[in-house]
Amino acid sequence: MLSPLAYGLAVVLSLFVVFIGARFLLAPQASAAGYGVPAAPNGDPAYLTIKGLRDLSYGLLGLALIAFTTADAVAWFMLIVALNPLGDTLVVLKHGGTKATAFGIHFATAVVVLLDAALLFAL
């Protein structure tokens, strides 16, 4: 029973990150506002593109690991990739975003990713 839960959560998290990355590439201003640090109306294209590419590639890498490797490899990936939402928490706090966004979105995401890593290590 633990295996479908651990892998199912890993797939959902990876697909969600793919969605976020694609959204940053397709609707950058709206995505930046949802991230918690709005981009300048006529600027910040590098920030928006980097964020989109980073998330898209991490999501696709997660899906590839799920499909072609072991639970331990996926667990290590989740453990390491949890640094991204933890870092995002700090970025939002440092750059004027709300605590609700920093902790309610980014930190909560990190906790779920770490929980999934623990579940995968338990397999």
Tens of pLDDT along the chain (123 residues) come to: 789 999 999 999 999 999 999 999 999 999 999 999 888 887 778 889 998 999 999 999 999 999 999 999 999 999 999 999 999 999 999 999 999 999 999 999 999 999 999 999 999
Residue 63 · residue 11 · CB < 8 Å: yes
Residue 120 · residue 72 · CB < 8 Å: yes
Cα dihedral 75, 76, 77, 78, rounded to 10, equals 50
Predicted model pTM: 0.92
Half-sphere exposure of 108 (CA within 13 A, CB side): 7
